[in-house]
Amino acid sequence: MQDMTIDSYLQAGGVLTSPANVPPRYRAELMKLMATFVDSSLAGAAGFADIINDGPGIRERAAAARIVLEKTGNAERVLRIMGEFGADTARYANQHPWTARLDRNADIGATRSDHDMRLAVFNYPLTGWTDAVVMNLLMGRAVSAQLADMVRLSYQPLAAAFRTIAPVELGHADLAATGLARIINEGGADNAQAAATYWWPRVAASFGTGRPDREAALRAMGLRHSAGAKLRQTWEQTAAAELSALGLAQPRTRP
């Protein structure tokens, strides 16, 4: 970096590779980002695990079990990096109630729970196979949109982890798309539309509130490149086109 400060180095597109050269504010934001991913992955896997036996056949149950296993593995991959910053990885996975959920009719927007750093969407319960498949499709496409930005993080070990995770998460969404097509072909369009209407605004909230000052600070540190509103727009276009191709209407998104 020669005469550059770490801040100016990052603003110029520089990267960091070790906890030893990470400044305090950067570390705090990086840990928050990793905790959000880990907690969301573990909470999502825990919720989906309860739905496995609702699958209509062996193939569907095997796909659900695979998703649970791989989401847990993705969480572990990022948790190992958190451990390099001093997180107690041995007790982390057991210290939060990952299966805890709010009432189905709760409406918390983007608010996090008191338990952990999971995204708000993972506080809502799944109510059956169709509901779980629709949620997994919509959230899977949202995760893919977000990971497309996160693979360019300035902290290289985490960016590398996300480059490994991204195709796995894309595969989960693709499995959900296949499952949803089967549900609709077997007469489940009405239930699928109801599930899409329920989950759409809750998944949309996972892109955050879009505070310009915070987004600018994260961009300066290389921890974000695209605005949350832009990522959300990308998701909306992709998800809406996918629902339309299946004969479903795009639900209304909160402003």
What are the pLDDT digits (tens) for 137-184?
Answer: 999 999 999 999 999 999 999 999 999 999 999 999 999 999 999 999
CA distance 184 to 200: 18
- Taking alpha carbons only, the member of 243, 216, 220 closest to residue 228 is 216
Segment (H or E) for 157: helix 156-185
Place 85 in a pLDDT band, splitting at 50, 70 and 90: very high
**Which pLDDT score, from 0 to 100, does residue 5 have?**
82
Enumerate domains of the chain plus CATH numbers.
20-245 (1.20.1260.10)
Q: What is the pLDDT of residues 198-249, one digit of tens each?
A: 999 999 999 987 788 889 999 999 999 999 999 999 999 999 999 999 999 9
- What is the value of pTM for the model shown? 0.93
pLDDT of 34 above 50: yes
Chain centre to alpha carbon of residue 201: 15
Task: Return the closest-CA partner of residue 45 out of 161, 169, 190, 151.
Answer: 169
Give DSSP secondary structure letters for 71-138: HHHHHHHHHHHHHHTT--HHHHTTSS-TT----TT---TTPPPSS-S--GGGGSPP-SHHHHHHHHHH
